[in-house]
Each structure stands twice: as structure tokens, then as C-alpha cells.
Amino acid sequence: MKHRRLLVPVVLVVLVVAGVVMWQVPRATAQSPTVELFGRVNLVEGYSLPTYTGCHALVALRDTPGTTVAVMTKEPRLQSLLETALSTGKLVAFWGQKNTRPVSPRGGTWSVTVYDIDGVILYK
């Protein structure tokens, strides 16, 4: 029998309940808390790549002048709201979690804080 080397380290937890051995993979660490931030969209970039389909937008935060963050979404409805905010200059609010290991669809690294968003409000 040929042995294969395991390339990815795997952590397992062994539980013994009533004499029965059970294997369990530990859960991932908790996500960052959801935050609501406000600002104006300065740029929207969409991607349709083999590794990522979605968009990111750069948002200049209202309550922290001089701070710009990136927001990422794969949801077309949220992308549409971000594009409308860009074209009109209107204020947006977004909900999201800080992503400590964000994807970089075209390579490189982020120079701003990145949030994965799940909601956008576009103000009049």
C-alpha cells in the first residue's frame, strides 16, 4: 500500500461519548461584528474572473474624515446601489464585517480596510 503525504494540516477533535469515538473538525473562529458605516462612493470596480465574480467600491467615510475603506460584494443588487451612489454623489450607509484576509481579485494587497457587505442604503 502506497502512502500519500498530507499537504494540508488538519486539526481534529476526538470526542468519546458513551464509549463511542467521534471525530469533529473545529469550527472557524467567529466573524468580526457587523458594523454600519456611512460615506460617499469614489470608485466601483466590477470583476468577472474565474476566481471571483463581484465588485468592490471605495467609500470615503463621513464620520472619520480622511479615511477610505473598501467594500466587497458578490450581490448584483448591492453593486447596483453602489454604482448609483457613485454616479449621483449621494450618501450611502453599508452593513458589513471587517475582512482580515480579503481576496484581491487581480493580485496584490489592499492598502485600506476591507469590509464584506450584506446591505446598502442609498440616501436622497
In a domain, 7, yes or no: no
In a domain, 19, yes or no: no
Asked if the model's pLDDT at residue 14 lies above 80, the reply is: no
More confident of the two residues 25 and 50:
50
In a domain, 29, yes or no: no
More confident of the two residues 10 and 106:
106
- CA dist 51 and 27 (Å) reads 25
In a domain, 63, yes or no: yes
Banded model confidence at residue 24, pLDDT cuts 50, 70, 90: very low
In a domain, 103, yes or no: yes
Asked if the model's pLDDT at residue 2 lies above 60, the reply is: no
Banded model confidence at residue 31, pLDDT cuts 50, 70, 90: confident
Q: What is the CA radius of gyration of the chain?
A: 20
| 8 A C-beta contact, residue 15 and residue 22 | yes
Q: C-alpha cell of 71?
A: 467594500
In a domain, 110, yes or no: yes
Q: What is the pLDDT of residues 49-72, one digit of tens each?
A: 999 999 999 999 999 999 999 999
> What's the domain count of the chain?
1
% of the chain at pLDDT higher than 90? 74
- CA dist 65 and 60 (Å) reads 7
More confident of the two residues 78 and 31:
78
In a domain, 66, yes or no: yes
Please provide the DSSP assignment of 53-101 as one string. Answer: EEEEEEEEESSSTT-EEEEEE--HHHHHHHHHHHHH--EEEEEEEE-SS
pLDDT at residue 27, rounded to an integer: 44
Host domain of residue 94: 34-122
Question: Within 13 Å, how many C-alpha atoms sit on residue 28's CB side?
Answer: 3
- CA dist 117 and 41 (Å) reads 14
Of the candidates 95, 97, 94, 93, which has an alpha carbon nearest to the alpha carbon of residue 123? 93
Look up the CATH number of the domain holding residue 72.
2.40.50.110
